Amino acid sequence: MDAAVDAVILLDHTGHIQAINRAGEELFGWPAGELAGSNINVLMPEPDRSAHDAYLARYLRTRESHIIGMGRELKAQRRDGSVFPAHVSVGLVAGAEPPQFVGFIRDMTAHHEHIADVKEEARRSVDQLMHVSRMATMGEMAAGIAHELNQPLTAIANYARASERFLGRPEPELDDVREAVREIANEALRAGAIIRRLRQLVRGGDEAREITAVDSLIEELRLLTLADARMHDTAIRFDLHGDTPGVSVHATQITQALLNLIRNAVESAAAGNPPGAREVLVRSRRSVAGDCEIGVCDNGAGVSPEIRDRMFEPFLTTKKRGTGLGLPMSRTIAEAHGGSLRHEPCQPRGACFILTLPRAEAVA
Total residues at interface with other proteins (CB under 8 A): 33
Pairwise CA distance, residues 135 & 201, whole Å = 9
Residue in 67, 68, 143, 194 binding other proteins, rule: CB under 8 A: 143
Our finding on whether 238 is near other proteins (CB under 8 A) is: no
Our finding on whether 145 is near other proteins (CB under 8 A) is: no
Our finding on whether 146 is near other proteins (CB under 8 A) is: yes
Q: Across-strand partners of 352?
A: 297, 344
Residue in 20, 102, 217, 229 binding other proteins, rule: CB under 8 A: 229
Pairwise CA distance, residues 354 & 155, whole Å = 38
Q: Residue 72: helix, strand or coil by DSSP?
A: strand
Binding mask 299-328 for other proteins (x = CB under 8 A): ------------------------------
> Nearest distance from residue 355's CB to other proteins, in Å?
25
Q: Across-strand partners of 106?
A: 87
CB 265 within 8 A of CB 297: yes
Our finding on whether 151 is near other proteins (CB under 8 A) is: yes
Pairwise CA distance, residues 28 & 276, whole Å = 77
Which residue in 34, 4, 7, 36 sits closest to 19, CA to CA?
A: 36
Closer to other proteins by CB, 217 or 231: give it.
231
> Nearest distance from residue 179's CB to other proteins, in Å?
7
Binding mask 154-173 for other proteins (x = CB under 8 A): xxxxxx-xxx-xx-------
> Nearest distance from residue 310's CB to other proteins, in Å?
34
Q: Across-strand partners of 353?
A: 296, 343
Binding mask 182-211 for other proteins (x = CB under 8 A): -x--xx--x---------------------
Compute CA distances 201 → 131, 135, 267, 327, whole Å.
9, 9, 20, 18
Residue in 152, 295, 300, 326 binding other proteins, rule: CB under 8 A: 152
Binding mask 3-42 for other proteins (x = CB under 8 A): ----------------------------------------
Q: b/e per residue, 210-226, with b = 16+ CB within 10 A?
A: eebbbbebbebbebbbb
Pairwise CA distance, residues 302 & 11, whole Å = 69
Binding site residues, other proteins, CB under 8 A? 143, 146-147, 150-159, 161-163, 165-166, 176, 179-180, 183, 186-187, 190, 229-231, 233-235, 275-276
